[in-house]
């Protein structure tokens, strides 16, 4: 039987609707909208799309998204200056440095930029203070994709307590923080990665399987216990028609989408998993829209905290 689809697009719309009155209150009190400063360095096409989406969603909600774009040739010092400017600005409530940064900035540039963000404006939750607080279960701001996953599970009434969760991927942005957040919710958590032995068998133990490794269609039905909940964090753009045809059954409407657009978004989970899983997030329309909604939640919370601190 086909899995229940966990509709991130619909749930994200609910979350944005719930935020509207909070945005209005903040705007009225501060005499300006809640404001998110984004630093985007270089011309990574996926990052451009993500940042444009954040701006569009912010605009529709009444949240001001102020994007500073710098070329990949910029120095780390110049990039840090932008973050300092956002830190000192009375008009910016939240700050986000879009990842990944160009490799020309050096291997630890991302960490160097995250650690100069004021933790009270760190709506991405990547400052070491917030990472440490997350580990202790008292984050000021939790990272947006892991928050999106937890919110999606909660609003889909999927119980976590005492259940086995397997996370494939150990990134700072998704794998590690989502493992901590599942643990805080009393799941029994295993984190797997590229050197894990017998990954399919470990994954098959999961009641809740989170695929966040960035490899298209990597998680095949042999990784999935029948009836498990599968959360697909991957967003991979495929342009090779032979690969797309090998992944999708003949007659799939998604083949028409590919023919029309010349590319197709595929998650880290193989489409055939829909026949084994009990519940599954679609790509697109699952975790992606939820992540942007949770960024807005964190930005509004940052604005509210600043207003509370001002009285």
Residues 6+ away with beta carbon under 8 Å from 190? 164, 165, 166, 167, 202, 205, 206
Which region, judged by CB under 6 A, interacts with ligand GUN, from 13-21, 96-104, 128-136, 202-210? Answer: 96-104
Q: How far apart are CA 83 and CA 209, in angstroms?
A: 36
Which of 145, 281, 298, 299 binds ligand GUN (CB under 6 A)? It is 145
Which of 35, 80, 99, 276 binds ligand GUN (CB under 6 A)? It is 99
Question: Hey, which residues are catalytic here?
Answer: 54, 98, 124
CA neighbor of 63 nearest in space, from 307, 310, 306, 297: 297
Query: How, if at all, do strands 264-266 and 236-238 pair?
Result: antiparallel
Q: How many residues belong to the site for ligand GUN (CB under 6 A)? A: 8
By CB under 6 A, residue 96 contacts ligand GUN: yes
Q: How far apart are CA 286 and CA 292, in angstroms?
A: 11
CB atoms within 10 A of CB 218: 18
Which of 64, 98, 130, 299 binds ligand GUN (CB under 6 A)? It is 98
Residues 6+ away with beta carbon under 8 Å from 40? 47, 48, 51, 67, 68, 69, 70, 98
By CB under 6 A, residue 150 contacts ligand GUN: no
By CB under 6 A, residue 232 contacts ligand GUN: no
φ, ψ at 286 (rounded to 5°): -115, -100
Q: In the range 107-136, which residues lie near ligand GUN by CB under 6 A?
A: 124
Which region, judged by CB under 6 A, interacts with ligand GUN, from 73-81, 93-101, 128-136, 157-165? Answer: 93-101
CA neighbor of 292 nearest in space, from 177, 145, 164: 145
Task: Provide the β-strand partners of residue 230.
Answer: 209, 280
CA neighbor of 44 nearest in space, from 82, 110, 100: 100
Which region, judged by CB under 6 A, interacts with ligand GUN, from 91-99, 195-203, 271-279, 301-309? Answer: 91-99
Closest contact distance (angstroms) between CB of 141 and ligand GUN is: 11
Which of 109, 173, 228, 273 binds ligand GUN (CB under 6 A)? It is 173
Nearer of residues 173 and 244 to ligand GUN, judged by Cβ: 173
Do 178 and 212 form a contact (C-beta atoms < 8 A)? yes
Closest contact distance (angstroms) between CB of 146 and ligand GUN is: 9
Compute, in degrees rounded to 10, the torsion defined by CA atoms 186, 216, 125, 229.
-20
By CB under 6 A, residue 152 contacts ligand GUN: no
Q: Angle 90-139-125 (CA atoms, 0-180°, nearest 5)? A: 60
Nearer of residues 36 and 144 to ligand GUN, judged by Cβ: 144
By CB under 6 A, residue 36 contacts ligand GUN: no
Nearer of residues 38 and 280 to ligand GUN, judged by Cβ: 38
By CB under 6 A, residue 144 contacts ligand GUN: yes
Q: Interface residues with ligand GUN (CB under 6 A)?
A: 96-99, 124, 144-145, 173
């Amino acid at each position: 039987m086909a899995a229940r689809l966990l509709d991130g697009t619909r749930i994200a719309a609910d979350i944005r609707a719930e935020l509207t009155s909070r945005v209005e209150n903040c705007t009225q009190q501060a005499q300006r909208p809640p404001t998110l400063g984004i630093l985007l360095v270089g011309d990574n096409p996926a990052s451009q799309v993500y940042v444009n989406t954040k701006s569009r969603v912010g605009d529709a909600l009444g949240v001001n998204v102020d994007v500073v774009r710098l070329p990949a040739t910029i120095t780390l010092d110049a990039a840090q200056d932008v973050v300092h400017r956002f830190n000192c600005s009375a008009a910016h409530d939240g700050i986000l440095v879009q990842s990944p940064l160009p490799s020309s900035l050096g291997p630890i540039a991302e960490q160097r930029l995250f650690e100069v963000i004021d933790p009270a404006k760190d709506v991405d939750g990547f400052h070491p203070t917030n990472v440490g607080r997350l580990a202790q279960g008292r984050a000021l701001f939790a990272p947006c994709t892991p928050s999106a996953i937890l919110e999606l599970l909660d609003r889909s009434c999927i119980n976590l307590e005492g259940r086995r969760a397997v996370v494939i991927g150990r990134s700072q942005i998704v794998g590690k923080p989502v493992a901590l957040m599942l643990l805080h919710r009393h799941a029994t958590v295993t984190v797997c990665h590229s050197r894990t032995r017998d990954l399919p068998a470990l994954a098959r133990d999961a009641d809740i399987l989170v695929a966040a490794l960035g490899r298209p269609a990597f998680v095949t039905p042999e990784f999935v216990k029948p009836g498990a909940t599968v959360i697909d964090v991957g967003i991979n753009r495929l342009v090779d028609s032979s690969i797309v045809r090998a992944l999708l059954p003949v007659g799939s409407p998604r083949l028409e989408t590919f023919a029309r657009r010349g590319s197709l978004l595929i998650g880290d989970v193989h489409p055939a998993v829909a026949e084994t899983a009990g519940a599954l997030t679609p790509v697109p329309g699952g975790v992606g829209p939820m992540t942007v909604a949770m960024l807005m939640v964190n930005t509004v919370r940052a604005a509210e905290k600043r207003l509370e601190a001002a009285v």
